[in-house]
Amino acid sequence: MSKRDDRVTLTPLGGLGEIGMNCMCLATDSSMIVVDCGLMFPDHYLLGVDVCIPRFDYILENKGKLKAIVLTHGHEDHIGALPWLLPHVDVPVYGSRFTLGLVENKLREHDLSRFIDLCQVNAGERHEFGDLAVSFFPVCHSIIEGYGLGIETPAGKLVHSGDFKIDPNPLGGHRTDLDAFRNFAGNDCVLLMSDSTNIEREGHSVTERSIVATLTEIFRQAKGRIIITLFSSHIQRMQEVFDLAQRVGRKVAVSGKSMFTNIDLARDLGYMDVPDDTYVHLDEIAGIPDDELVFMVTGSQGEPLSALTRIAKGEHRQVSIHPGDTVVMSSRFIPGNVKAITRVINNLYRQGAEVLYERVQAIHASGHAQKEELRLMLETVKPKYFVPVHGEYRHLVKHSRLARECGVAKERALVIENGNPFTLIRDDTIRFEETIPAEAIYVDGKGVGDVGQSVIRERQLLGGEGLVIVVMVIDENTWDILVGPNVMSKGFVFEQQYSHFLEDAKCIVLDIFENIPPGELDKLKERIRSSLRRFFRKVLDRDPIVLPLIMDI
């Protein structure tokens, strides 16, 4: 065995240091696979940005040895960036039947059907990709048909947990197969990479059966209509809503494109059984009594254009709040969305609804393992090395501490961030490689990567301080002013109330013009920009963007 045939290099491009944008590369001298290819929704300060995706430079530089993209499950933070990668690489995508159904819909939405090369994987199967091989183990999560991975490499066996929880008595057989993990790992697993999302939550996660019990009581006791919002990918929970509605004699109407799409997909693939006499269209609800109706809607995170947000504002075309309605928010509050969600809750109360959410009633079970379940995964796999994944930095640190409690040596419980590759070598040694660029790429409309920090800063300034536009037209031959100067405020001040300041600004522009030699247009613009910013800082303590629009004709 040559020196280069006994090692594997792991390069995290996303998901280590944030929750979202999961993407990990595993490469040998001749082969490479990518595990997951997810996106992340932007923080509030990234004005105008639609989504954030990993930087794919490393993958594209090594695409000659890329064999496959392997998906653990179908959530957006694991599949959402595929439309931006697949046009540049010619490789198949491996995943479960349902995961690939979601991928196919996504690629069709982006008009990328020509890049669809999807390979369905069943639980327990093993697939080879050059000198790498991957086995797929079923895991319980908040989406059906998720997998953990057993990866065989020249450096030994690696395990990737995927997103998982351990439910001892799951509904519908959606369980985490710890025996499969244990049998694969044996006594010689080199590395475990494990989901860190809920490391800060002690004990065990709430079971789905307990959620069904709570929802059953709500459905039995509700006097008016029930409006329930949940993640549109949570097929199992949506099936439970249909089952409960049928049991208590209610009809279910759905509002929200992603929910429609996923229900149709799940029904077509046989993952949902929805009786036709229970599922009704919104156009058919007019004659149905309030106590016989359930609305299942998007908007669990307070998204501005979602069905629930529009209902809360009284702006939904077909659904408005009636006195006595019960709104059930069967999802967790994702950090960063809390203000938007609470705003929706307050608006729903203003409309006269009663709102039930996780903080006041057990109506959501996380799909991520809590501390004792994470401990059980560590004790099952017994890895020599441990790298926590899928978490913010504090989650990674706390998960690595748990690994040390479970017997992993302190120097082998590693905290790795995006862009920090490391190489495992068969003799149980590790080598840290040179850091590579791994900052997120911003997608804004059709632009990919053309919005950076400088553009974001300008947008923040525009949002915070506003814009002042100076318009002038000058005769290039005589250097006489033909039009203007006109000074206009956009998001800076109310022009009628502060017109005297804008008039003073015009005088400043004229003074500057008188002292600039004819023909020096660039100098004139720069002097106007700096002088007006200084003036507005002095008189109003504000610093708007000043945009001189000066033309010579």
The residues carrying an active-site annotation are 195, 368
Amino acid at 234: H
DSSP 356-411: E-TTTS-----SS-BHHHHHHHHHHH--SEEEEESEEHHHHHHHHHHHHHTT--GG
What values do phi and psi take at 425, rounded to 5? -120, 145
Amino acid at 389: V
Q: Cα–Cα distances in Å, from 524 out to 85, 330, 473, 502?
A: 46, 59, 12, 18
Q: Which helix (H) or strand (E) holds 128?
A: strand 126-129
CA atoms within 13 A on the CB side of 315: 10
Is residue 429 classed as helix, strand or coil in its secondary structure?
A: strand
* CA-closest candidate to residue 132, choices 270, 36, 10, 43: 10
The two three-digit tokens of residue 434, written as one number: 């040179």
Is residue 135 classed as helix, strand or coil in its secondary structure?
A: strand
Quote the Cα angle for 45-73-189, to 5°.
105
DSSP 174-243: ----HHHHHHHHTT-EEEEEEE-TBTTS-S-PPPHHHHHHHHHHHHHH--S-EEEE--TT-HHHHHHHHH
Quote the Cα angle for 278-283-288, to 5°.
55
What are the strands of the beta sheet with 467-474, ordered from one edge? 481-490, 467-474, 545-552
How many residues are present in the chain? 553
Cβ proximity of 453 and 530 under 8 Å: no
Q: Cα–Cα distances in Å, from 243 out to 219, 227, 396?
A: 11, 15, 39
CA dist., res. 14 & res. 159, Å (int): 18
DSSP 227-288: EEE--TT-HHHHHHHHHHHHHHT-EEEEE-HHHHHHHHHHHHTTS----TTTEE-GGG-TTS
